[in-house]
Amino acid sequence: MNARDNCIFCKIVAGQLPSRKVYEDDDMVAFHDIHPKAPVHLLVVPKSHVDSLADCGAGEGEVLARMLLKVPELARAAGCTNGFRTVINTGPEGGQVIYHLHLHVLGGPRHEWKGTLP
């Protein structure tokens, strides 16, 4: 068994675990974070497993670009009309907890954001 067999995001991508999806295409899936830190807290995850941004190479460039370009559309659809924050945690000192590259999209009134941000 390899690390990807136990990857929670790989299991969500494969439909083995439930999620509240807001978007899916051939390359990525976006869903609500189960531990939101803001009124809007989405995760955008590539379907192909790569541990972190530090592990990306030229082969991931296209999907990374597509993910970033999709974020404003997802944020608007979720009601973020006055802006949003996009975060990629990378490695243990960067706050990464799940080792499958993912983008956090956070929005909503700042006074409603909770605790430490991702």
List active site positions: 102
97 vs 30: CA distance, rounded Å = 18
Please enumerate in sequence order all residues whose Cβ is within 8 A of that of 104, keeping only pairs 6 or more positions apart, or say none. Answer: 33, 37, 41, 42, 43, 85, 86, 87, 88, 89, 118
